[in-house]
Chains A and B, each alone.
Chain A
Amino acid sequence: MGLIKQTPAEGVRGDTRTSARDCPSLCKQLLAAEPEVRRWAARDLVDCPDCSEALVEALQVEPDASVREVMLTSITRIGDGTAVNGLVACLRSEDAGLRNEAIEAMKQLPDAVAPIMLGLLMDEDSDVRIFAVNILESLRHPLVENWLLQVIDVDDHVNVCGTAVDLLGEVGGAASLESLLRLKVRFADEPYIQYAADLAIKRIQEN
């Protein structure tokens, strides 16, 4: 017993995978019984941009967290329109874990998410609008402040505005002050909005 090194014939490796790696086969493997096969298929599909639809469909029914995480990474890396639409669909899922994962993935895709951000912020479902603000939390995009201002200027839902105000306190500049004052008037009866807007104003003025 002790330190050993395998002979070159044995190799240092243990790849026993026999599955085909062409794109159509990989798509089928997304539904294989073994999580390991699905995980590898999800990983290799990153080189098959036309397969993002298969990935997002599989994501919504994938029970294994480790496979789901790999699927989300591949979807993020592909980052095309289909991939982003698939992530948006996840925002509407009843599965809180999947929703959070989709939010995290979308934060990584500023250029792909930017064109649909206004649509998300005007979605009829207030939860989706809140998730959209959550995405803005760390989306590296120059329009983040503008989008947040749009929310607090027009959205009627107190929780959506509250989420946006919290974030404005971090990322907002002097241009946000007027909108924050208007928001206080719009929600004059909401103590939380008064408190959050005052705090955001104070933070912006201190910076």
Chain B
Amino acid sequence: MADASISEDDFQKFREFFYRKTGIQFDMSKRYFVDKRLLERMADTGNATFRSYFTMLRFQASGVELQTLTNSMTVNETYFFREEYQFKCLVNSLLPDLVSRKKDDGPLRIWVLPSSSGEEPYSIAIYLLERWAGIHNFDVEIVASDIDTRILEQARRGLYSPRSVGQLPTAYRQKYFRQVGEDFQICDDLRGAVEYTRVNLSDRADTRAYRNFNVVFCRNLLIYFDDVSRKAAAETFYDALKPGGFICLGHSESMSRISSLYKVRKFPEAIVYQKPTE
């Protein structure tokens, strides 16, 4: 494979294309990371040059290669009960607030995005079952989405390393997991309780159907987006939320710097953002 290399022009061309398709932007510091994955995909698909690979990527009708490449470009590493203060905020502040204003009989709906391999949606499920008395009075629906189809399969399988479950109280690990070799698999009840869907947050056709959520968790995703894509994502969440619904971002992210659509709500456990009640 004599020409199997990525030139500066190739990188720029790919970067623009990938940004348009996914909203994810790689700066020059990610050059090595991007090149490595592109070269791997070129080898796996039998493309000797970037040019032929890029042609395939752009014009393949099925879009399978773009999805495969996207899977390899997105980093998925998290663990159970990561940034637990927001789960505390959910059960101590957000859900009581939502319940006090609830006028319909429908379920409370939570959208987790990106789902990654499931640690966050399953953590929320465990938190609701263990720490929120209201679970006996209300139905809760958890939808978890990711752009990476491979990681969604992993989430549905629910098999985790000891490191991934390391922050969980032992009692919860014993109650909700079974040991499989050195790993831990989450119980069937919880696997069956979370709906996993594939969504590209930058694709309006993908996201337009997501509505009527009470809470959105979108933590540590928007940091990979540029300013315009971040704003577009905030607008997508605005339409996905019911009036008065909440959005939780990662601890280093601030909706105030992204969009003026939301009200800042300071609860004892966390700062979250609320769609106006209208």
Q: Which chain B residue shows the least CB distance to A72?
A: B231
On chain A, the residues within 8 Å of B193 by CB distance are: 3-5
**Residues of A within 8 Å of B, CB-based: how many?**
27
Binds B, one of A8-16, A48-56, A171-179, A188-196: A8-16
* Beta-carbon contact of A69 and B235 below 8 Å: yes
Confirm or deny: A29 has a beta carbon within 8 angstroms of a beta carbon on chain B.
no
* Beta-carbon contact of A1 and B135 below 8 Å: yes
Confirm or deny: B195 has a beta carbon within 8 angstroms of a beta carbon on chain A.
yes
Q: How far does the alpha carbon of A67 sit from the alpha carbon of B230 in the complex, in Å? A: 16
* Beta-carbon contact of A13 and B136 below 8 Å: no
Report which of A1, A40, A77 forms a contact with B232, defined as CB distance below 8 A: A77
* Beta-carbon contact of A15 and B192 below 8 Å: no
Confirm or deny: B270 has a beta carbon within 8 angstroms of a beta carbon on chain A.
no
Q: Shortest Cβ distance from B259 into chain A, in angstroms?
A: 6
Q: How far does the alpha carbon of A70 sit from the alpha carbon of B208 in the complex, in Å? A: 14
Q: How many A-B residue pairs have CB under 8 A?
A: 85
Q: How far does the alpha carbon of A23 sit from the alpha carbon of B271 in the complex, in Å? A: 39
Confirm or deny: B254 has a beta carbon within 8 angstroms of a beta carbon on chain A.
no
Confirm or deny: A116 has a beta carbon within 8 angstroms of a beta carbon on chain B.
no
Subset of 27 A-B contacts with CB under 8 Å:
A1-B136, A1-B138, A2-B136, A2-B140, A3-B135, A3-B139, A4-B107, A4-B141, A5-B142, A5-B195, A12-B143, A14-B211, A15-B208, A15-B210, A16-B211, A36-B239, A39-B235, A40-B208, A40-B239, A43-B204, A44-B204, A66-B238, A70-B235, A73-B228, A73-B231, A73-B235, A77-B228
Interface residues of A (CB under 8 A from B): 1-6, 11-17, 36, 39-40, 43-44, 46, 65-66, 69-70, 73, 76-77, 108
